[in-house]
Amino acid sequence: MQELKDKVAVITGGASGLGLAMARRFAREGMKLALADIEEEALRRVEQEFRKAGIPVLAIRTDVSRGHDVERLAEKTLATFGAVHVVCNNAGVAPGGAVWESTVADWEWVLGVNVWGVIHGVRVFVPIMLRQDTPCHVVNTASVAGMLSVPGMGIYCVSKHAVVTLTECLYHDLAERKSKVGVSVLCPAFVPTAIIDSERNRPALLRNPTRARTPEDHQREEQMRHAVQSGRVSADMVADMVLDGIRQERFYIFTHPRIKAAIHSRMEDVLNDRRPTDTSKPAKD
């Protein structure tokens, strides 16, 4: 997909972080924007920013874990712009904790946003793209956590592994039908965004009022916060990579190429029937 001017991009999680960076990058290419986010106030701020800049924009509060919300997003996008050409299923949350410590509420929240959000995005928008029969592209935001298995991030890794394989299967299904819809899976590592504070958007019904936070929880959160905030690859740089990936029809978009060594180590564990290597720790000489 080469020509983006006047095309329509739908971006979930579009009011902050990677989603907002993608929106700004697409806007510079002359695209029209349909932005979805669960944060109403941030969404209105971003909508105003684009309107002042003369960018055609539609902003809709959306809980991607709810299928009818995503369906309404599609309906309003088509009613406003008449088509959809790029869909970035980007909304995500990132709690930590040992696997056995994750509550049912934790699983429902994370899988609802990170997995069902992508499922709904694919289920709702891909049929529209197929009917249009024009060059289109789907970008699903996973993570390097979708390629690795690390301690303290089990629930997040599960969700992102699901996004990776969902996207791979989507690619095969579309290729089998010789469709004009391209597919990419975005696998960022540590990028300075507000995802470390994603608890701010957890629904009240899925909170954990009875589970006390342990010293390990606090330590893990601080380590993750430091890693995210000290990341050298910015959200704007990732947005450039996404745009290039769409134009080059690149399937895997890795923001941090050096992480491939850890992915290679994990693949070797699988192929050589070894116990899993802790790729979160530096390799021993």
Q: Say how many C-beta atoms besides its own lie within 10 A of residue 275's C-beta.
A: 6
Instruction: Please state the domain extents for the chain.
Output: 8-258
- What pLDDT is recorded for position 284? 38
Ordered mean pLDDT values, 10 residues apiece, the chain (285 residues): 93 96 97 97 96 97 97 98 98 89 92 98 98 97 94 93 98 97 94 66 76 62 57 86 96 93 94 91 44
- What pLDDT is recorded for position 226? 52
Is residue 181 within 8 Å of residue 137, measured between CB atoms? yes
In angstroms, the Cα distances linking 47 to 12, 13, 42, 53 are: 14, 13, 9, 10
Nearest residue to 86 (alpha-carbon basis) of 194, 245, 203? 245
8-258: CATH number: 3.40.50.720
- What pLDDT is recorded for position 94? 87
Show which residues are catalytic: 156
Q: Would you say the pTM of this structure is higher than 0.85? A: yes
- What pLDDT is recorded for position 282? 46
- What pLDDT is recorded for position 232? 73
Q: Which residues contact 56 (CB under 8 A, 6 or more apart)?
A: 32, 33, 81
- What pLDDT is recorded for position 248? 95
Q: Tokens standing for 38?
A: 């669960």
Q: Tokens standing for 101?
A: 């410590």
